[in-house]
């Protein structure tokens, strides 16, 4: 009739893992492109490029996962990344070393996140509106700080974070490892720490969380501040890629990041989502964009494809949950 | 200097049509496609140069992002409602700006179009680089470098941008003239920012097997795609190996030219373009006869000629007399 109880239960619990769906999607899309363009898509350099192109979205997605699981949203992430490239470039141009410049950028990101968190926690306005406001405000600040120009600065070695060194033994540049480390830290924090449990509880049911003695403003503030810090790290990586501070950079990045989290099983109603899933979601979008270019597909078809895959992935995920 | 003019622009917008009492100077709105690219700084300097020579006031305001069409339309409309004397505009789209320009004309405000073309007959003059010819110039340069054979890639700029589309067209025409040059990809766009261009460039290079020596040369039609391509070639360790002919100049691009990572840069004369656009408008306002089409010229800079006085002025124009710092 059916498989033994224990096996079926184990299979069910495996399938119920939030990252299984995106993993299956990623592997199938990857295999599809690999079959269609075996001579270019399977090469190491293609993999290295894809890994590098995923770093910024992935880092932001780690923070966004926390925010979305907590029941919020952060639309300002693209503006924060642009602001961080400007701050990092300004610090480098002012003669500071790579470490100071990177720390200044990350601090700027964390401050932006803290601002979001403080506003959401105190104003009792939905995070969508608060971060819609900071999205515009921080973008303006980035443009003002940069004097409405790109900031040309000596990258002071920071460009090495996102550049593969032929002499290096590592197959991918340090930035990829930093993103992976951040993802592991984020996943551990969300799944195993007290703070992580409070984030999930707040997102699942704020009323219950409050009754169990969780300080919701504190959890909210910390969640957004952490997301800001992640955007700060992402901004440093973006500067490393660009070697200039660009206040117009990363327009619309927030949508890519949210898409990654949602493809990865995050629920915009809060309480659900995993860092691993979001990471897979981010990779899936890079693979689609890269594969489409390898196939020589025109840009407009790529955009339609990406949109379709987002909807299909999330539909399949919901259906899997119901089944 | 620049800050003050921005402020004047901002105050002017706020004051709307009520303005005009303080200064009797002719006020000309100059609207670029964006303000972050180096190119527009030179246009701005040229416009200021003309405004000083001709004793007019210019109001400089553009969308910060190079493809924010809606914002640019809004800027044109707000200048019309302020009642400026004339509008000098680099349209982001050759069709979408026709209506706002017609609106200006109905309000008795003439428009000079510069940099990028506009359909219809609502504007009084068009001041620009002959972009098809400039693109062809770039193509011919790449053909010469490659000995007229090999596989080449065209990374386009942005859907709907007329000036770059014409350069791309000119480039492809030049490629067709050489039977042994094969364009292996010409349908990928870099998008509005350096970041999007560098991601697209890198993916495209890998897809076409550039690292295995399957791509001999690339062409990019503006500053952000050229810089994005340069970053991509550097990341893949191909800078200098794959020949790059690009468009426009910035500090990093000039450094690339010097290091041999860029083979040639097609240079327009943006300072002259800004200057002539404002000058043409002033002439029109004084009822002098003006040409419908004014070509501001293009040259190719390479490692050999980049230090000559003439090209130095195009590569690294001294803008400090106009923009300060």
CATH number for position B275: 3.40.50.2300
Query: How far does CA B105 lie from the centroid of its chain?
Result: 25
Residue B49 pLDDT: 95
**Chain B residues touching chain A at CB-CB below 8 Å:** 6, 34-38, 41, 64-66, 159, 185, 187-189, 192-195, 198-200, 202-204, 206-209, 211, 231, 234-237, 250-252
B166-193 residue pLDDT tens: 999 999 999 999 999 999 999 999 998 8
A109-137 residue pLDDT tens: 999 999 999 999 999 889 999 999 999 99
Query: Which chain B residues have a beta carbon less than 8 Å from that of A250?
Result: 193, 195
Could you tell me if residue B216 is inside a domain?
yes
Query: Which chain A residues have a beta carbon less than 8 Å from that of B237?
Result: 164, 166
User: Same domain for B188 and B285?
Assistant: no
User: Same domain for B111 and B163?
Assistant: no
A241-253 residue pLDDT tens: 888 888 888 888 9
User: Same domain for B72 and B184?
Assistant: no
CA distance A13 to chain B (A): 38
CB B88 within 8 A of CB B30: yes
Could you tell me if residue B322 is inside a domain?
no
User: Same domain for B177 and B80?
Assistant: no
Total domain count, chain B: 2
User: Same domain for B163 and B263?
Assistant: yes
A192-249 residue pLDDT tens: 999 999 999 999 999 999 999 999 999 999 999 999 999 999 999 999 988 888 888 8
Residue for token digits 């002017």?
A: B12
CA–CA gap between residue B114 and residue A131 (Å, rounded):
38
Q: What is the dihedral of CA B174, B176, B180, B185, to 10 degrees?
A: 90
CA within 13 Å, CB half, A244: 24
**Of A75, A67, A107, nearest in space to A190 by CA:** A67
Q: In the beta sheet, which residues pair with residue B189?
A: B156
User: Same domain for B140 and B122?
Assistant: no
User: Same domain for B263 and B162?
Assistant: yes
Could you tell me if residue B13 is inside a domain?
yes
A240 part of contact set with chain B, CB < 8 Å = no
CA–CA gap between residue B128 and residue A47 (Å, rounded):
43
User: Same domain for B88 and B175?
Assistant: no
CA–CA gap between residue A134 and residue A112 (Å, rounded):
8
CB B175 within 8 A of CB B143: yes
CB A261 within 8 A of CB A75: no
Domain boundaries, chain A: 35-322
Task: Copy the structure tokens of residue A254.
Answer: 């927030």
CA–CA gap between residue B265 and residue B254 (Å, rounded):
9
Average pLDDT, chain B: 88
User: Same domain for B40 and B97?
Assistant: yes
Q: In the beta sheet, which residues pair with residue B127?
A: B114, B294
Could you tell me if residue B141 is inside a domain?
yes
User: Same domain for B229 and B167?
Assistant: yes
Interface confidence (ipTM) of the complex: 0.76
Rounded to 5°, the CA angle B321-B322-B325 comes to 65
User: Same domain for B196 and B220?
Assistant: yes
User: Same domain for B256 and B167?
Assistant: yes
pLDDT at A25 over 50: yes
Provide the CATH number for the domain formed by A35-322 in this structure: 1.10.3470
Q: In the beta sheet, which residues pair with residue B151?
A: B182
Residue for token digits 């004084």?
A: B286
Domain with B198, as residue range(s), is 131-267
Could you tell me if residue B321 is inside a domain?
no
Query: Which chain A residues have a beta carbon less than 8 Å from that of B5?
Result: none
For residue B67, what is the nearest residue in chain A, using CA coordinates? A248
């Amino acid at each position: 009739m059916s498989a033994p109880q224990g096996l079926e239960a184990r299979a069910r619990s495996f399938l119920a893992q939030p990252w299984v769906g995106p993993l299956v999607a990623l592997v199938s899309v990857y295999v599809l492109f690999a079959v269609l363009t075996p001579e270019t898509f399977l090469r190491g350099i293609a993999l290295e490029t894809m890994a590098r192109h995923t770093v910024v979205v992935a880092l932001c997605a780690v923070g966004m996962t926390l925010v979305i699981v907590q029941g919020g949203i952060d639309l300002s992430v693209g503006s924060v990344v642009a602001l961080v490239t400007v701050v990092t470039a300004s610090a480098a141009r002012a003669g500071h070393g790579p470490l100071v410049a990177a720390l200044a950028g990350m601090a700027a990101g964390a401050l932006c996140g803290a601002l979001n968190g403080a506003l959401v926690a105190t104003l009792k306005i939905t995070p969508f509106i608060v971060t819609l406001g900071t999205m515009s405000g921080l973008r303006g600040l980035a443009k003002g700080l940069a004097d409405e120009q790109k900031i040309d600065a000596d990258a002071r070695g920071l460009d090495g974070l996102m550049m593969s060194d032929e002499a290096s033994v590592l197959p991918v540049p340090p930035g990829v490892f930093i993103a992976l480390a951040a993802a592991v830290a984020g996943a551990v924090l969300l799944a195993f720490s007290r703070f992580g449990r409070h984030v999930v509880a707040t997102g699942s049911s704020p009323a219950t969380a409050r009754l169990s003695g969780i300080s919701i403003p504190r959890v909210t503030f910390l969640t957004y501040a952490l997301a800001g810090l992640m955007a700060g790290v992402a901004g440093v990586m973006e500067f490393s890629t660009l070697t200039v501070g660009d206040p117009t950079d990363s327009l619309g990045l927030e949508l890519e990041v949210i898409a990654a989290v949602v493809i990865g099983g995050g629920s915009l109603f809060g309480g659900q989502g995993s860092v691993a899933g979001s990471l897979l979601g981010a990779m899936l979008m890079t693979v689609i964009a890269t594969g489409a270019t390898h196939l020589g597909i025109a840009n407009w078809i790529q955009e339609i494809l990406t949109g379709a895959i987002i909807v299909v992935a999330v539909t399949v995920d919901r259906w899997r949950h119901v089944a | 200097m620049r800050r003050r003019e921005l402020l004047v622009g901002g105050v002017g917008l706020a004051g709307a049509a009520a303005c005009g009492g303080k200064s009797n100077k002719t006020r000309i709105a100059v609207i670029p496609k964006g303000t972050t690219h180096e190119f527009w700084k030179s246009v701005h300097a040229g416009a200021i140069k003309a405004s000083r020579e001709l004793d007019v006031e210019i109001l400089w305001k553009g969308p910060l992002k190079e493809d924010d069409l809606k914002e640019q339309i809004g800027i044109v409309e707000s200048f019309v409602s302020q009642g400026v004397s004339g509008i000098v505009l680099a349209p982001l789209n050759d069709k979408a700006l026709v209506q706002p320009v017609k609106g200006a004309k109905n309000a008795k405000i003439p428009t000079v179009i510069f940099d990028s073309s506009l359909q219809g007959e609502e504007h009084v003059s068009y001041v620009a680089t002959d972009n098809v010819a400039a693109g062809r110039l770039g193509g011919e340069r790449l053909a010469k470098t490659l000995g007229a054979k090999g596989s080449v890639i065209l990374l386009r700029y942005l859907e709907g941008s007329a000036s770059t589309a014409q350069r791309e067209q000119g480039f492809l025409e030049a490629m067709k003239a050489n039977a042994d040059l094969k364009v292996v990809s010409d349908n990928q766009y870099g998008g509005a920012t350096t970041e999007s261009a560098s991601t697209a460039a890198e993916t495209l290079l890998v897809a076409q097997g550039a690292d295995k020596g399957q791509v001999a040369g690339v062409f990019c039609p503006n500053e952000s795609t050229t810089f994005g391509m340069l970053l991509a070639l550097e990341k893949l360790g191909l800078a200098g190996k794959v020949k790059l002919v690009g468009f426009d100049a910035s500090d990093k691009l000039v450094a690339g030219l010097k290091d041999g990572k860029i083979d040639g840069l097609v240079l327009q004369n943006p300072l002259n373009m800004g200057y002539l656009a404002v000058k043409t408008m002033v002439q029109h306002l004084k009822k002098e006869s003006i040409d419908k089409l004014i070509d501001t010229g293009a040259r190719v800079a390479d490692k050999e000629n980049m230090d000559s006085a003439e090209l130095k002025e195009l590569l690294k124009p001294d803008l400090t007399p106009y923009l300060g710092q």
